[in-house]
Structure 1
């Protein structure tokens, strides 16, 4: 039986879909909303590239997040526990309810002053002039600090937590990812044990006590902590750096924000649409035969919903490839849709808006320090973001 093509094989000659996947998605979307592709490291899957089909797929209860409905010969990452992203109701409902109260808009709004303090501290550590990598000096440490404070991860463990989680979501090799997973699981287990023995007022302690008292199974506890830690910062790193990149790459839009800082929120929303940091959803698996946008899906087949492709669907967005803060039309689905809509969306918005506003206010003449066309974009099945972002700072 012929093997389905990869995105790389579908790309025009000489085009790198990791740097810019959108021409590939546009070509696929012109032929139809759903296509069979090979996802390296996983297997064959149906790829959804239109907004209508994406929304349909994300609310279809026959498309399960539980890999046990799959025909794949893999545990789907359950070596790091079972989490909300890989479960369906009623298990998903129970797990989400345990932490949902910590991510309400009201609770997150109360965190804004702390996010501002952390952002200002990072900015104070940057030179007033010169070149810095905005990813590693700013876009990365801010969300790492925020989620680690919320969870209760000690400062001395944050760097390794990030390094190992980055390897898992954007692996450099299968062996490195396996090793990172084992180390992260061991470190998480040790931290949870300490929080259960000596509870405090952090979310991690609350979860550890729930695990100790039987409210969470051991693999659920491990999966919950892993998901909150990784999803709580990896996606926001990509969002903050992509927002800075997008504004600098579009001087007319940057001028709008400088003239009216209240447009920072619009800049974040347009970045979410135009440079979706969560490239695709987690795999869904057909629990029974179904039809999706005219395509027959067999029981056990994997379905991958491209949020990046859906958010540039020209059927819904005028000049969809244009970065435009004044854009009107339907909301993006960068945070997903339906039961699995991102729990941390309010936190990501507060962090990104704060980071962008504070950075632009402090450095009014910031510019690219290198040709933006040469920057490296790292991508995986789930995520896409800049590896680094060298910027030339200036205050006058």
Structure 2
């Protein structure tokens, strides 16, 4: 436990040990609602979502507590089912192959901008039910947010406003024609979802669609980008996975993605929490109103929890990492992210078997910000494919 002053000027507690992190993530005395912080000017909207300041966007799963969180998560879970994710697997494979087709003949690519970024944005748009003709707009808006994350002004704010407005209009249109069309997309599922007769309001549905879109693409961008980079830097593990894939086995791919989530996961710090009463974590006294940030990247390298934590071991079995959180705020979209990560990595390593890093690792740059961890670019080279 470390008390520190962040670049914004906010003083916060950093939780770095695995056991303390699990406690903090599950402790409901740590609220997700920024209203519990005594420095709201600094903390409002600090969920890692660029440009988030509007009240209607604050009503989502990352920023609320029970009982509202319980109600919304139960409603959303009815639309975001394992069956829906499983049925989406062929589309993820189709998107993956299509994107690789665009650069496979060249022998070089930037895997962030040409692959890791567009794959999850198109996938989540398809799952939400955004018409294909509008998805390039979403790619542009999301690109602005991911390139210039955190800034509340300028292009980021305009992109957030456009995305929010589009989703609100799309939800309204889908609600109007729902009885006629019988659409089976996620937004239609959100509209249909009810709990004892209680439905999501249009504002709640728009906020939920926005957070699913944002959280559903940037974390997966980083999973694919960080995961590929880790494999390129660990050739023995990468070759081991390629041999497993060539033999038609999937077990190492599944454990391997979990290990990549632990080793260099897409989320460096969990989103903000605020103490609602005095409590103790890791022997430190936390005052009411204190911000608490759980450092997932540190917890997942804790030598008291993981043997040889700085070693990438794709076959690691005892791997209850915190890459997607823990407790009631565990990532709802984790099954989709895992599907996309497994599909992307397996297809890359199979179709481009001699994939190599095409840059000095010291020249690669990581995006700024407290919450997410991801590369700005990932230049690669390989034998051109016909």
**8 Å contact 1:279–1:307 — kept in the other structure?**
yes
Alignment of 1:28-39 (within 5 A): 34-39=1-6
Paired position in structure 1 for 2:168: 189
Q: How many Å separate the matches in 2 of 1:201 and 1:120? A: 24
Paired residue for 2:345?
A: 356
**In structure 1, what is the equivalent of residue 284 of structure 2?**
295
Deviates more, 1:96-105 or 1:382-391: 96-105
Q: In structure 2, what is the equivalent of residue 20 of structure 1?
A: none
1:145 to 102, 115, 122: 122
Shift, 1:154, TM fit = 2.2
Q: Report the count of equivalent residues.
A: 362
TM-score, normalised by the number of residues in structure 2? 0.87
User: How far did 1:158 drift?
Assistant: 2.7
Pair 1:239-2:223 in alignment: yes
For the residue of structure 2 that corresponds to 1:37, the secondary structure is strand
- Alignment partner of 1:255 is 2:233: no
Aligned mates of 2:85, 2:193 — CA distance in 1? 23
Q: Does 1:273 align with 2:269?
A: no
Q: Structure 2 CA distance, aligned partners of 1:124 and 1:44?
A: 48
Equivalents in 1 of 2:124, 2:79: separation in Å?
Answer: 12
Task: Note closer, same or farther for the CA distance 1:42–1:354 as it changes in structure 2 (3 Å cut).
Answer: farther
Give structure 1 stretches of 5+ with no counterpart. 1-33
8 A Cα contact 2:118 2:139, kept in partner: no
Q: Which residue of 1 aligns with 2:200?
A: 216
TM-score (norm 1): 0.85
Q: How does 1:1-396 map to 2 (within 5 A)?
A: 34-41=1-8, 43-74=10-41, 75-76=44-45, 77-79=52-54, 80-165=57-142, 167-168=144-145, 171=149, 173-176=151-154, 177-199=156-178, 200-208=183-191, 215-261=199-245, 262=250, 263-394=252-383
The alpha carbon displacement at 1:220 in A equals 2.1
Q: CA RMSD in A?
A: 2.2
Distance 1:215 1:354, change over 3 A: same
- Could you tell me whether the CA contact under 8 Å between 1:364 and 1:395 is conserved in 2? no
Deviates more, 1:231-240 or 1:257-266: 257-266
CA distance in 2, matches of 1:165, 1:39: 26
Instruction: Give the 3-state SS of the residue equivalent to 2:62 in structure 1.
Output: helix
Say if 1:84 and 1:42 are closer, same or farther in 2 by CA, change over 3 A.
farther
Distance (Å, rounded) in 1 between the aligned partners of 2:64 and 2:58: 11
Distance of 2:329 and 2:140 partners within structure 1: 26
Q: Name the CA distance, whole Å, in 2 between partners of 1:37 and 1:57.
A: 17
Taking the aligned partners of 1:245 and 1:223, their CA distance within structure 2 comes to 33
Per-residue CA distance 1:183-239 (angstroms, 9 max, x = gap): 33222222222222333332213435679x972234422321111110111100110
Residues 264-309 of structure 1, C-alpha deviation per residue, up to 9 Å, x if partnerless?
Answer: 2222111100111011111111111111111111111111111111
**Secondary structure of 1:236's match?**
helix
Q: Is the 8 A contact 1:81 1:221 kept in 2?
A: no
1:18 paired residue number: none
Q: Quick check: 57-66 or 104-113, which moved more?
A: 104-113
Q: Distance in 1 between matches of 2:129 and 2:69?
A: 23
CA 1:222/1:296 → structure 2, altered by over 3 Å: closer, same or farther? same
The whole-number CA distance in structure 2 between the counterparts of 1:127 and 1:162 is: 21
Cα deviation, 1:139-174, whole Å, max 9, x if unaligned, reads: 111111111111011234333434434555652644
Check whether the contact 1:238–1:384 (CA below 8 A) recurs between aligned residues. yes
SS for the counterpart of 1:385 is coil
